[in-house]
Amino acid sequence: MVLGVVASDGKKMPPFFFKAGEKICKETYYNILRYTVLPWLKAIYPEGNYVWTQDGAPSHTSDLCQKFCSANMAHFWPKDMWPSSSPDLNPLDFAV
pTM comes to 0.84
Write the DSSP assignment of 28-95 as a string of letters: HHHHHIIIIIHHHHHHH-TT----B-----HHHHSHHHHHHHHHHSSSB--GGGS-TT-GGG-HHHHH
Looking at the structure of the chain, the number of domains it has is 1
Note whether residue 10 is domain-resident.
no
Note whether residue 72 is domain-resident.
yes
Note whether residue 90 is domain-resident.
yes
Of 9, 4, 2, nearest to 50 (Cα)?
Answer: 9
Note whether residue 5 is domain-resident.
no
The range of the structural domain enclosing residue 37 comes to: 23-95
Report the alpha-carbon distance of residue 32 to residue 16 in Å, rounded: 9
The predicted-structure confidence for 44-94, as pLDDT tens digits, reads as follows 999 999 999 888 889 999 999 999 999 999 999 888 887 766 665 665 665
Report the alpha-carbon distance of residue 30 to residue 4 in Å, rounded: 15
